Structure 1
Amino acid sequence: MAEESVFRNLLEVLVSASSEIERAYKDSCELVDLDTCLLLIAECFRCLRNACVECARNQHIMRNLGLISTSVHLIKLLHGIQIQEELLLSALRCSLQFLGNIAAGNVESQNSIWKCAFPDLFLTCLTYSDEKIVAYCCMVLFTCLNSEKVRELLDPGNLTVALHVLKVYKEQLESEWSFLIVTDHLLKCPELVKTLYAKLSNQERVTLLELMLAKVSEDNPVTGEEMNVFIRHAEFLAGCFQEKCEAVLKLTSAAGADEEALVTIRLLDVLCEMTSNSKQLEHLQVLPGLLDTAIDTLRLTHHAGQQAVNIFTATRAMTGEEEISHPAVNFKSHLIRLIGNLCYKNKENQNKVHDLDGIFLILDNCRIDDNNPFVNQWAVFAIRNLTEENERNQELIMQMDDEGLLDSCALKSMGLEVEKQDGKLILRSLGEKTS
């Protein structure tokens, strides 16, 4: 219910304070009462911040008075003060909260802030030493972003903003706003993700992939246009996995976790989740080379585990109380999961696994393995998908069983047994009664 004159008076106070600070630093003279000046600025922004909460009228008045441009100018000015006093931090925090509140639900204010503040203010505040200032800056950025503005981040000069957001998330995992910027905005632009990925370190790539994993693992599945976006992500990530998959073999060394190998592990995790979605699965099933790569990588890791004792060696070392924390735990399980997904109701891929000797490879990995505690469950799933309406693959398993090439214990450990019925192979669960 405040009159416009109230906000005009506050504007005059901020302009006056801004001029006094500029004059003091321009003339290299000491500001007589900096503390009082900073306190006054903070109180003005507190008033403005509170007055525009869910109030379109006040947001409109403040914007038309020029409070947005004045605030952005003052934030940049305050950033130049080389002190870390609480009063300065309070003034900066309140100013950013004001920008966040005046932008909330108000497209005109969002556009005005973007015009005045992008990219300089965001680059300044995202790298500030105070976590609250960084968080409030992320809030403003999240509120202002839309699909059109996200594309502006593709400009080489603006890409640094997106890089800083990822860095904020990596260093401040409790920062909800940086998480939302990536998952709700940046991930909706495949071109930006591809450009970002090329610029990131391996550690930062892991962070980005973990955010993608969080997005594709959400309870609410992606639909519509967002589905088309994630299909493009899937194609890009599949290419990255095919290119770098052998990096995981570096983990056979006891030297510690290799960052490039960690990227490979996260790529596989994301692809497993993506192939659990029917729409994305259909696209990934026909990607050239992905299934071949998954089988080859399973073969390489399986062989590496047989050649020497390492993370890919099947082990039963755990007593039940120990826990293996190696990043490659479940890697072979996830490879089998990916192969099983890619063969779901897909005769061509079922036959390809047959031709690449992948069925025996999957069955040969079905041993109790503390490094891959869920390998049997995923193998059951993969064998089911490989044999569903595929007599050729069914007959191969039966032939291996007849010739003694298949360890029946492996099938039993999976909860399966092979049985002939009316001249045909029946692969059934143990304990399942025949009709």
Structure 2
Amino acid sequence: MSEILDLEKVKTNLENINENLKKLIAGEVLDNCTLEDTKLQIRSIRNACSQGTQAQNFLIEQEETIAYMQMIVSKDLQAKDLIELSWQFVANLTVQNEKSQKFVWDHLGETLTDDIRIHPIDNNTDKKLMIIYNICRGGLVECSEKFALTLLADIWHRIVEEQSNEELVFVDLFFEYFLVTNQWTLRLYATISAQNRIDILKYITTYIRNDSPNGPIRTILMEYISKEFKKKADCILRNSGDMENSLHPQEVYNLLSVISCATGSELYYNIYARDDALFLSAGALLQSIVALGKKEPNQFTPMTKLEEVAPGSNIDTSFELEISFELKTLLVRTIGNLLCTNRHNQQHCIDTKLLPALLECTNMDARNPLIKEWSILAIRNACYDCPEIQHMISELTEAGQAPNQLLTELNIEMGALRIQPKE
């Protein structure tokens, strides 16, 4: 008997809410008392959803509910606190209830997704994403996982672009579902646009840097990232007028960013340590970039002048937006990690004559922050327990000071050393 009375109370609250929201949309001003009562009533029906499917089904069976939901997403309604409570209600309505999920998607799906894409990232974004998450996980509504993954990538792109500090719990939960739990994500990832793939790779890099808090990313996806890098790595060195292909260098950069982080993590190192082709591809790309940088000045030429590296320099920093910025650092970092206690890769280093390229990277370069430090680590890992490479290093002799524009400007005589093999 008490449950029937509770449902009747919910129905009465819903009628009052609809009436007051209609007045607001019509431009009427509600007194503070009425506004507060409306908020309490919205909280009441929001909390009623937690009673289970019976309460949720009761709510969606009320004729006024459709009109109420349309009011929720009205662009004319400026009462932010009421909108927030309303989104909370819709989100709670979709929790573990296939019937209400279908109802919400049929009546609000298109409007909801448009709203997510159009509005700036705010505290309601997470509530809207929770609705999509619940519907997607329900599995019986025509909300495809490809659509959801694309929407998620778009949201992450905007979070990065807008430098949003909003705490979006369901962004991480949704990504966890796709990257850690869902066994079909690779099929989805392979079919979405290049820009969406890039945005997902950026999230993966962030996720790995944060020590994979919700569990390791599925091995099959990490292996595919290596496969894609090896297949597309050489596009860094050439241009294409095709719009899709023009994004490939950025994609390669972000593939490499994931790999450079992953090879330094115990969770993923073994996936890549046994991938000989990955080491060879990274080494070949580094050698090509080093050689290219020695030709006439280009985006791969090291920036070593004082005016280029000084913190207060007035030099145009647009180079930081080029695909070459930090690229060599990522390559050297990846190579260094893959050389760590890895006899096969140490032998590849010898066979491909990679050591000179690593030595070239020990100079300061404003295009590649921390490249000197990563190069030293890479050389150290190459030498560790490898007599052949140790012997190669020992055969190098001092041949005077290497050209160093920075040291010349500072009038410092003791600088880096030029090295050459013994004759």
Task: Decide which moves more: 322-331 or 355-364.
Answer: 322-331
Percentage of identical aligned residues: 16
Normalised by the length of structure 2, the TM-score is 0.74
Instruction: Name the CA distance, whole Å, in 2 between partners of 1:95 and 1:44.
Output: 14
Q: Identify the match of residue 234 of structure 2 among 246, 254, 257.
A: 246
| TM-fit CA distance, 1:250 | 4.2
Counterpart in 2 of 1:60? 51
1:379-394 mapped onto 2 (5 Å cutoff): 379-394=375-390
Q: Which residue of 2 aligns with 1:355?
A: 351
Q: Is the 8 A contact 2:57 2:99 kept in 1?
A: no
CA deviations 1:277-314 (Å, max 9, x no partner) are 12311121112410010011101211221222122111
**Cα offset, 1:343, TM superposition:** 1.3
Q: Trace 1:286-325 onto structure 2 (pairs within 5 A).
A: 286-317=274-305, 318-320=308-310, 321-322=312-313, 325=320
Separation in structure 1 between the aligned mates of residue 3 and residue 303 of structure 2, nearest angstrom: 75
Match of 2:406 in 1: none
SS of the residue corresponding to residue 26 of structure 2 reads: helix
Change (3 A) 1:119 1:52: closer
**Cα deviation, residue 346, structure 1:** 1.0
Give the aligned length. Answer: 386
The alpha-carbon distance between structure 1 residues 67 and 305, as it changes in their structure 2 partners (threshold 3 A), is: farther
Q: Where in structure 2 are there 5+ consecutive unaligned residues? A: 404-413
Is residue 279 of structure 1 aligned with residue 279 of structure 2? no
Deviations 1:105-139 (A, max 9, x none): xx65x556445445874443121244565442113
- Are 1:47 and 2:34 counterparts? no
- Per the normalisation by structure 1, the TM-score is 0.72
Which residue in the other structure is 2:9 paired with? 9
Segment of structure 1 superposing worse, 76-85 or 157-166: 76-85
SS where residue 190 of structure 2 aligns?
helix
Greater Cα offset, 41-50 or 178-187? 41-50
Over 3 Å counting, the alpha-carbon distance change for 1:181 and 1:222 in structure 2 is closer
Alignment of 1:389-400 (within 5 A): 389-399=385-395
Give the corresponding residue for 2:257.
269
Partners of 2:198 and 2:251 within 8 A in 1: yes
Q: Which residue of 2 aligns with 1:198?
A: 190
Q: Does the 8 Å CA contact 2:56/2:100 hold for their aligned counterparts?
A: no
| CA 18–197 in structure 1, closer or farther in 2 if over 3 Å, else same | same
Residue 315 of structure 1 contacts residue 369 of structure 1 at CA under 8 Å; is this kept in 2? yes
1:78 shift after superposition: 4.6
Equivalent residue number for residue 139 of structure 1: 130
Instruction: Find 2:360's aligned residue among 364, 386, 389.
Output: 364
- 1:48 shift after superposition: 5.2
- The 1:140/1:45 distance shift into structure 2, 3 A limit, reads farther
> Aligned partners of 2:331, 2:40: CA distance in 1, in Å?
57
- Please state how far the C-alpha of 1:91 moved relative to its aligned partner: 6.6
CA contact (8 A) 1:305 1:314 kept: yes
Within 5 A, what are the aligned runs for 1:151-162?
152=139, 157-162=144-149
**For 1:118-162, what per-residue CA distance to the aligned partner results, in whole angstroms no more than 9, with x for missing partners?**
5874443121244565442113345x37xxx55949988442133
User: Aligned partners of 1:72, 1:381: CA distance in 2, in Å?
Assistant: 68
Residue 235 of structure 1 corresponds to 223
Letter in 1 for 2:129: C
Determine if contact 1:333/1:372 at 8 Å carries over to the other structure: yes
RMSD: 4.6
Unaligned runs of 5+ in 1: 22-30, 419-435
Range with bigger deviation, 206-215 or 85-94:
85-94
SS in 1 for 2:372: helix
**Which residue of 2 is the match for residue 97 of structure 1?**
88
